[in-house]
Chains A and B, each alone.
Chain A
Amino acid sequence: MTTAPPDALLARIAAGDRDALAALYRQHEAALFRFVLSRLNDPTQSADIVHDVFLEIWRSAGRFEGRSSVRTWIYGIAYRKVIDVFRASARLQVTDDIPETEDDSPGALECLAAAETRDQVRHCLGTLKPDHRQAVELAFFQDMGYREIAEVMQVPEGTVKTRIFHAKKLLQHCLGRFGLQGGTA
């Protein structure tokens, strides 16, 4: 099975091609689900958001103007839907504060006992504020550049860099408690 470029798939979707929508879904669904889940921390609600994102892609593919990449456009839709969820439940948090407190979350001790580094990284990512975590996810899991992340999150490029910088410091602090070596700068 060949992998069609997202732009070509979007053009076919705009013409009503369901197979193209299925192909685009298969290209992006898993990573998009992870992206939404990192913010909502609710698998069922995250699956619903992914579903809604692809329905919106189906409806509005013809309006894609190509000013950003297809991936940025898709993640932008998802990001706005997540914001809507937060607004609806009045739990919107947009902050770049760094908490000075130690990591004393309930799972910390259990996580300390985990042998796998990835469990510890996963745990520490979970202690980040949503905006920080999402910026890190986009940079290191999706490999997006700061311009692309800024477009998805609709914040200035400098804010993206600041969020990731702060998130990195928190991760170093958290992982340091597990004895994992971090940077020193």
Chain B
Amino acid sequence: MTAPAMTREAALQDLPFLVNGTLTGAERVPLEALLSDDADLVAERDFLARLRATMQADGCGQAGVNPPGELGLARLMRALPPQEAPRRADRWRAQGRLALVAGLAAVASALITAWALRDPAAAPVYVQASGDAGDAPVLTVTFQPEARLADIAALLQDKDLIIVDGPGALGLYRLELPPGADALALAETLRAADDLVLSVDEPE
């Protein structure tokens, strides 16, 4: 079966999508048939291919203009609500869980109270198993003034770190660590990257 005929005008309009590889096989066949014996069309295709290669190599459309990068991500994280409400689909299940947790909390409270009354000398009465606030560990850092944003972004992405606050007036950034990360080891790693990182406080 031969491919359906294609007008030259239609071929010219499809060439950009031949160049970026998004035409389907059925769209490509008649176009390539026309290209095989039309030198002008080949020149058009080659021009578009050079244009695409140049644009892709350029990276960003305006000289000296960088995308927001990690600072934009930090701004985004700050703009999110502190705790997202349960989605509609989960609402009933979440309410059931809430009732269960409330019940368990009431029982636990009664047990703790009874235990504390039985042995008033014992202390402390209650210790939170997960630590102070139950939050993920955070590192507070400052970056070298001459460090490039792209290099900082690469370092943070490599370690799965997210800026959750900053920069403050003193240039301090707070970095959230990935779950289960060794905060002390990560702090040491950041200190070792002293071409980018100026200071790292002890993990919070």
Q: Verify if B68 is at the interface (C-beta below 8 Å from A).
A: yes
Interface secondary structure of A, over-half rule: helix
Which residues of the other chain, B, contact A155 by a CB distance below 8 angstroms?
none
Interface range, A side = 35 or more
- The answer on a CB contact under 8 Å between A185 and B40 is yes
A137 x B61 contact (CB < 8 A): yes
Asked if B51 is at the interface (CB within 8 A of a chain A CB), the reply is yes
Interface membership of B30, Cβ < 8 A: no
| Residues 138-176 of chain A, each 1 if its beta carbon lies under 8 Å from chain B, else 0 | 011101111010000000000001101100100110000
Contact B87 A14 (CB under 8 A): yes
**Interface secondary structure of B, over-half rule:** helix
Name A's B-contacting residues (CB within 8 A): 1, 14-16, 18-19, 21-22, 25-26, 29-30, 33-34, 37-38, 41, 43, 47, 50-51, 54-55, 58, 62, 117-119, 121-122, 125, 136-137, 139-141, 143-146, 148, 161-162, 164-165, 168, 171-172, 181-185
Which residues of chain A are within 8 angstroms of B7 by Cβ–Cβ distance? none
Known contacts A30-B69, A162-B13, then 16 further A-B pairs from the complex at CB < 8 Å, ordered by chain A residue: A1-B157, A22-B77, A25-B76, A50-B67, A51-B68, A51-B79, A54-B76, A118-B54, A137-B61, A139-B17, A139-B52, A141-B55, A145-B17, A148-B22, A185-B8, A185-B41
- Pick the most buried of B13, B52, B56, B89: most chain A CB atoms within 10 A of its CB: B13
A-B contact pairs, 20 of them (CB 8 A): A16-B84, A19-B178, A22-B73, A22-B76, A22-B162, A30-B60, A37-B65, A50-B67, A121-B51, A125-B61, A137-B55, A139-B17, A140-B19, A141-B55, A144-B22, A161-B16, A164-B16, A165-B12, A185-B41, A185-B44
